[in-house]
Chain A
């Protein structure tokens, strides 16, 4: 019986040993889970983002995706982030405010991503950044410069990776206009503005500056996003006969408005369009290259810019996609660079608030130039001003970033 008892006891010993081993394995497994987010893991760092790949903003959304992809490949080719490869998890928000919130919640709670990058347009970044804040995740956005985005006392961002918020994007242009000799300075101005959080603040700031300087407003209208027909708007502008026209436009509307000005036979001496002309060949293809001459625009990036890493980015982009990067692609790449700098600066991805605080205390070299931020995440810098000259989009302001020596003060078509 002893033997028998001993025989009966042996399985208990084995069971106990197995249980101990299993417990040790489970504990080890738990340990692995805990170290997933740490610097010692070999697992890729997952970066979640949602983009408007379909719908109204699909054009910049697709460009941003390309920029993010080039950033990921560049980081991975250089050995990764904290020694770990970077993996992007991209969702499509269909240009919809509700979907973008659902996307970021899913990225954080379901996909369990380590880090976030932002979406495109102020309209989408406004709710998306709130979702990130609720989940205590750092939020870095390549677009979304509407001032109200930075008026919410958020702790985890959003950090806007362009040179200035929307209300300061026309500053250098306004300074240039007011510095013109008296006989060349415009006396009257017309404003036609898309009702969009990224365009209205630019024009509001310009209007305030010009009114204070005594430039008379002879036409001032805001048009909704769904506007397709610009002939009657352009005709009303023509009737007002301003010296200068300011068009707060995103893209398709800017092309439509510019085409309509030509159709109704009106060419102002000075034409400023906020965003549309920055789309390069797509703009000149849309309005006709002969109609681009002298048009001013606000822009954050140019492929010719002499900023650290820009030439390498442009080369990598052209190799990957066969064409020069659009501005939106460059902005997304810069957002990736800012995220990378924060992670490398802190040396860990575990404390998202530490990453945000690091960005508040440091500036970051990007392909857009050095970027730094206020505590709110709003950038402190000067937006570039471009002008179409001889069929090319050139940077004309500020002087130290200019790619052209001259500025066309009066558009030749106006003569």
Chain B
């Protein structure tokens, strides 16, 4: 039983962090129907920013989100205005190609700026744990999960309790309908993209303390984050949270009870099964094409 509780604790802690990683991507897809392949690269950029703030100024990586989040918000807005915006009405494949190119450029820029060496921040708690009667809870993972829950709660409040947030949700549900009731779709799209990238700033701060990373690390993360939002339902924030938790638990249960060799394969079997019975994902909604278009 202790082993099961321990595995569940690890899974939930990992899932909490994954949820934040995926939230921005699903938000952007929900409103703009853009699959941002550069999400992983921007996540690593956020990690490099947090690492630099820790190394040069001694700022705790998790506290540095008050700097990395606004910085990435501005970067997201700039990317939208210069690259994504002009392609808003282009086919999905065009934006996939564009954002893939952006990921490669981002990787190259990070390589030039920070080199190809592996980095990881080591605040005082990075290798410490809470011990609750034999259940080990790594402090960095616990703190990161708490920060992730706080950021996700703020994001939920923003989307549900502000007019701007409601405009984003309206655009996500039906772009034409939102435009008809006066929502400025261009502005909402720019804001959504910037907010989505801002969440990556917060997530990157967590990566910097939880995982060693280098410019090429983004490939692993984009694959995992895409899986989460597909499992949860493209465009659904609640779906991303549930998908992240399920993926985290599936990874750890597989490592503990089946084999570490299957730890990344079994979760994808789970995704396959979910999509077989619910092609729209766990929390995705099916829209009539004649209404959605």
Q: Which residues of A are in contact with B by a Cβ distance under 8 Å?
A: 53-59, 61-63, 95, 192, 195, 221-224, 226-229, 231-233, 235-236, 239, 251-252, 255-256, 259-260, 262-265, 279, 282, 285-288, 291
Contact = CB atoms under 8 A, between A and B. Distances in A.
B126 interface: yes
Given A282-B118, A286-B118, A291-B127, A252 B217 contact: yes
A374 B212 CA distance: 38
Contacts of B122: 285-286, 288
Given A232-B10, A286-B120, A227 B263 contact: yes
B52 interface: no
B260 interface: yes
Interface stretch (B25-33, B109-117, B181-189, B274-282): B109-117
Given A58-B215, A227-B263, A235-B10, A263 B127 contact: yes
A386 B48 CA distance: 30
Given A62-B115, A233-B255, A224 B219 contact: no
A381 B6 CA distance: 45
Nearest to A55: B216
Contacts of B120: 255, 259, 285-286
B255 to A, nearest CB: 5
Given A231-B138, A232-B255, A239-B3, A265 B129 contact: yes
Contact of A227 (B104, B111, B264): B264
Nearest to A283: B118
Contact of A251 (B3, B118, B129, B223): B118
B128 A263 contact: yes
A264 B116 contact: no
A235 B251 contact: no
B126 A95 contact: no
A235 B10 CA distance: 10
B132 interface: no
A228 B220 contact: yes
B107 A232 contact: no
B7 interface: yes
A264 B129 contact: yes
A53 B216 CA distance: 9
A58 B216 contact: yes
A62 B112 CA distance: 11
B261 A54 contact: no
Given A63-B116, A286-B122, A286-B212, 7 more contacts: A54-B111, A222-B259, A223-B263, A229-B255, A279-B118, A282-B117, A288-B122
A262 B125 CA distance: 11
B136 A222 contact: no
Contacts of A231: 10, 136, 138, 141
A54 B108 contact: yes
Interface in B120-169: 120, 122, 126-129, 131, 136, 138, 140-141
B130 to A, nearest CB: 10
Contacts of A264: 129, 136, 138
List the 7 closest pairs (A to B, CB-CB), nearest first.
A62-B116, A262-B127, A223-B260, A221-B260, A58-B216, A263-B138, A255-B212
A59 B214 contact: yes
Contacts of B220: 56, 226, 228
A337 B261 CA distance: 39
A263 B255 contact: no
Contacts of B217: 252
A161 B48 CA distance: 34
Given A223-B263, A236-B256, A229 B212 contact: no
13 contacts: A54-B107, A56-B216, A58-B214, A59-B118, A229-B10, A229-B252, A232-B7, A233-B255, A252-B118, A255-B212, A262-B127, A285-B120, A286-B212
B143 to A, nearest CB: 13
A35 to B, nearest CB: 39
Kindly name the residue among A224, A252, A279 whose own CB sees the greatest number of chain B CB atoms within 10 A.
A252
B14 interface: yes
B118 A232 contact: no
Contacts of A286: 118, 120, 122, 212
A195 B141 CA distance: 26
Contact of B118 (A221, A255, A263): A255
A222 to B, nearest CB: 5
Interface in B239-287: 251-252, 255-256, 259-261, 263-265
A54 B261 CA distance: 26
Nearest to B13: A231
B10 A252 contact: no
Contacts of A221: 259-261
Interface in B1-35: 3, 6-7, 10, 14
B116 A61 contact: yes
A186 to B, nearest CB: 22
Contacts of A58: 111, 116, 214-216
Interface in B215-232: 215-217, 219-220, 223-224
Nearest to A231: B10
Contacts of B224: 226, 228
Nearest to B253: A232
Nearest to B14: A229
B11 to A, nearest CB: 8
Contacts of A288: 122, 126-127
Kindly name the residue among B117, B211, B212 whose own CB sees the greatest number of chain A CB atoms within 10 A.
B212
Nearest to A290: B127
Kindly name the residue among A239, A264, A288 whose own CB sees the greatest number of chain B CB atoms within 10 A.
A264
B52 to A, nearest CB: 14
A259 B260 contact: no
